[in-house]
Amino acid sequence: MQEDYGYVQDVTADLATGTITSIIVPGSSNKFFGIFSSSNDITIPWDKITCIGEDIILVKI
């Protein structure tokens, strides 16, 4: 099963250790002329990421 979530929007990190703990990608959004928007961001834990390439990130579900 393959899904396209879009670009990485943000990351979360553990400041004590300096490690990335998860990445955040935009979820589905409903926009009305770009004024009103509702977004459900998707947080992907770092331990679920299996490979990071030039233009793709593989995630184990």
**Neighbour-count burial of 46, counting CB atoms closer than 10 A to its CB (0-12 exposed, 13-18 middle, 19+ buried):** middle
Domain segments of the chain: what residues?
A: 10-59
> Residue 55: what pLDDT?
86
- pLDDT, one tens digit for every residue, the chain (61 residues): 667 777 899 999 999 999 999 999 887 665 555 555 556 888 999 999 999 998 888 999 7
The pTM score is 0.72
Please identify which residue in the block is written with the tokens 């959004």. Answer: 29
**Side chain identity, residue 8:** V
